[in-house]
Amino acid sequence: MADLAKFTSPDPDKIQMLASFGCSIVEIAKYFKMDESTVRKNYKDELETGRESLKVKLRQLQWDHAARGNTALLIWLGKQYLGQTDRKEIDLIGNLESVLKECGFEDSPIDAEYSVEEEDTEQAEAVGSRRLQANKDPA
């Protein structure tokens, strides 16, 4: 009972300050010798304000370092805010044609006129002959 009589609730500004330093709820609760659930429940606004303050400070530092020429940070910020990527765009059709020519296909199948009916009959014949072979009794 003596411990409870000495207990005073912590200053909300201190909880907000610790949250702005990036302290977890567990760390804040241990610092004030409180239960985590009490901190979560009674100081929700202070925790949220402190965390948002941390984000603002961190962004300010990032922009400052980027302005001083931190190339990695400039690239990262470009990706986050400008939609920039590391990917190179390639001409897929041109690339496919060159690969096919390297493999021995002189005429481009992309440009050639190709009949769907012929393809279906060729496929049906190929599948049919395989089925016959598969159904044959090995004995």
DSSP for 65-114 reads HHHTT-HHHHHHHHHHHH---SPPP--HHHHHHHHHHHTT--S-TTTS--
Tens digits of residue pLDDT in 90-104: 556 667 777 777 777
| Cα gap 76→66, rounded to integer Å | 10
Judge whether 47 and 39 are in contact, CB under 8 Å: yes
What's the pLDDT score for residue 97? 73
Q: Sign of the C-alpha dihedral, residues 79, 82, 88, 92? A: positive
Amino acid at 51: R
Give 94-135 pLDDT, tens digit per residue. Answer: 677 777 777 777 665 555 555 555 556 666 666 555 554 555
Q: What is the pTM of this model?
A: 0.52
Domain ranges for the chain, please list them. 2-82, 92-134
User: Count of alpha carbons within 13 Å of 16, Cβ hemisphere only?
Assistant: 9
Cα 84 versus chain centre, distance: 14
